[in-house]
Amino acid sequence: MEKMGHIQYMKNNRNWKEIEIFQEDATTRMGHLPIGGGALNASYTVVDAVANICAVAGNLGMKYGRDFIWSHVGYGGRTLDKETVCLLVKEEKYKTFLHLSLQNKHKIEHTQNGEILITKEG
């Protein structure tokens, strides 16, 4: 592995393709609970998006570590202002499969005291 900054890139997977999926296409969850917690109370948006994307990929028959891996989060889109989840995939066709199959119909909300509610199932 080659280390660049705080992200490690897999040198021996040069044939793998990097794909980006907008986080807003995978989750509506807010980034933190409305309670204290500091650094341990952050980035729930990213985790929820990655979980949803991985679940969809698994339902399509893709296997983590064989067909795809989560690489990093970034910014993409035309203006580079949308947060993205970046995956490395073995085959380019997985990009189309994931984009067509990914649904963001669930709704997760948080109460003022930190409870997590699924207010709409996907």
Listed residue (84, 122, 118, 82) closest to 103, CA to CA = 122
pLDDT of residue 2: 43
pLDDT in tens, 70-83: 999 888 866 778 88
Alpha-carbon gap, residue 45 to 52, rounded angstroms: 11
What are the angstrom distances between the C-alpha of 85 and each of 27, 37, 38, 61?
A: 11, 24, 23, 20
pLDDT digits (tens, 9 = 90+) for 95-107: 888 888 887 777 7
pLDDT band (50, 70, 90) for residue 89:
very high
**What is d(CA 79, CA 97) in angstroms, rounded to the nearest whole number?**
25
- Segment 49-69 mean pLDDT: 92
